Chain A
């Protein structure tokens, strides 16, 4: 195999004096002094959260304002640090979304335990639990760090999904086709 001999010129005395390199370095740092800073000055400036960010887990409503969670407890089972606790319950007779059958009576996520892994969001068949863009969640007591159902919906808001799964089911029932 042919080898290529790389020719290295011996350094001149001027180069060996190390001074040109020092001057070059000084030039670079001097230019850097006038470049804009890259610091994000945190409390005043906030970082832009990219889509798909895994922040604090929240519960969402569908466009009708109905809570999406059907209390299947899959997230509770999958949660590695056991941060989620759900108390399932019947949906009251007079409620408009009675046909959904089940909903959470109480839904707690302990943010001291949560590891932001996002498995709950992945496992949820109803797309009811979402890790959103809240990245700094603080409190003064342990109790404050446990998000109850009301807080979770406050943080979560509404998911603008176009499926209306439960509406379609209700309609099918009304049309006499319960096993839609």
Chain B
């Protein structure tokens, strides 16, 4: 056993499989949460019929879980796996097959650098992360925006008008909001530069948020950079193609947008990629603005208990943010395309620049 655990390759494999499993599970249940929350908001019960033979037959828990739709994701997954895979005759086949993969991989790749907990031992603090690299946030920004290539590729390879329009919209939207997103993040890293030594490492940023000002106010970024948090959140909605910014899909005017010509598992990959994107995006927001695994005023214990607790805190915060994503989707109508562009270039970008300059001056004043 020891030699297995000491082999870094096998350890990394186990860790990554675990993380992938958890994120995939969360993606599946995010879909369920979406359907349930949508139902409740609209006065419906949501999926409540799917039942597993043994677990669903338990006296009180079984019906309760069935009503809650807990078994629904399994049925959905199975359906995607066994469905027939039709390919329309008019598509560019190679790129058509490539597109879902291209949109799925970046979503899965970004999770490697996202720290989700910490392990306090006698010799110090260890981050729970697959790859604790120093360019953390740069990596996430770079790779997550690659996901749009999948959408553009899908729009182009489908060789039909609605996917094409969806792909064009996706690319324009991605370019517009990427700028504001990056600019809104700069003050965060500048603010914590004294604690982190100016590194872009996400773990250090989260650790720096564990302190308190005057021992009272938790040093979470959202409390003293609310505008930056808002800009980042709005850009995150746009980057993950969520309502009210779901331009590439806009099912009312573009049928289903970029994935109109897709079905079965290829569509499933797009779907899964979208939800993974939301989960990772929520995780990044929690790490950067909501203090990650830090609880206000309470320190985490050392050892395995502390590690589990830190992961749990992180997950709870992430789930709360995912709920916000869903909640907003079923509240707001979609923006018109030109309104999206307007908001991105004329409102958010200047705001992000102003926010950046403001904190630049503020930090200079504090430090002098």
Tell whether A and B belong to one assembly. yes
Residues from chain B with Cβ under 8 Å of A26 in the complex: 327-328, 331
Residues from chain B with Cβ under 8 Å of A136 in the complex: none
A22 with B45: in contact, given A29-B327, A32-B40 (CB under 8 Å)?
Answer: no
Residue of B nearest to A31 (CB): B41
Q: Does B43 lie at the interface of the complex (its beta carbon under 8 Å from any beta carbon of A)?
A: yes
Residues from chain B with Cβ under 8 Å of A39 in the complex: 43-45
Partner of A41, one of B37, B40, B41, B45: B45
Q: Is the Cβ of B40 less than 8 Å from the Cβ of A25?
A: no
Residues from chain A with Cβ under 8 Å of B328 in the complex: 22, 26
CB within 8 Å of A: which B10-45 residues: 37, 39-45
Residues from chain B with Cβ under 8 Å of A35 in the complex: 43
A32 with B41: in contact, given A25-B331, A26-B327, A26-B331 (CB under 8 Å)?
Answer: yes
A3 CB → nearest B CB, Å: 33
Size of interface on B: residues with Cβ below 8 Å to A: 13
Residues from chain B with Cβ under 8 Å of A37 in the complex: 39-40, 43-45
Residues from chain B with Cβ under 8 Å of A25 in the complex: 331-332
B198 CB → nearest A CB, Å: 33
CA distance A179 to B22 in the complex (A): 90
Q: Is the Cβ of A29 less than 8 Å from the Cβ of B330?
A: yes
Q: Does A163 lie at the interface of the complex (its beta carbon under 8 Å from any beta carbon of B)?
A: no
CB within 8 Å of A: which B288-335 residues: 327-328, 330-332
A23 CB → nearest B CB, Å: 10
Q: Is the Cβ of B327 less than 8 Å from the Cβ of A30?
A: yes
Q: Which of A26, A29, A32 has the most CB of B within 10 A?
A: A29
CA distance A38 to B44 in the complex (A): 6
Residues from chain A with Cβ under 8 Å of B44 in the complex: 37-39
CB within 8 Å of B: which A6-40 residues: 22, 25-26, 28-30, 32-39
| 16 sample A-B contacts, Cβ–Cβ < 8 Å, listed by A number | A22-B328, A22-B332, A25-B331, A26-B331, A29-B330, A32-B41, A32-B42, A33-B37, A33-B41, A34-B40, A37-B39, A37-B40, A37-B43, A37-B44, A37-B45, A38-B44
Given contacts A22-B332, A26-B331, 16 further A-B contacts (CB under 8 A): A22-B328, A22-B331, A25-B331, A29-B41, A29-B327, A29-B330, A30-B327, A32-B42, A33-B37, A34-B40, A35-B43, A37-B40, A37-B44, A38-B43, A38-B44, A39-B43
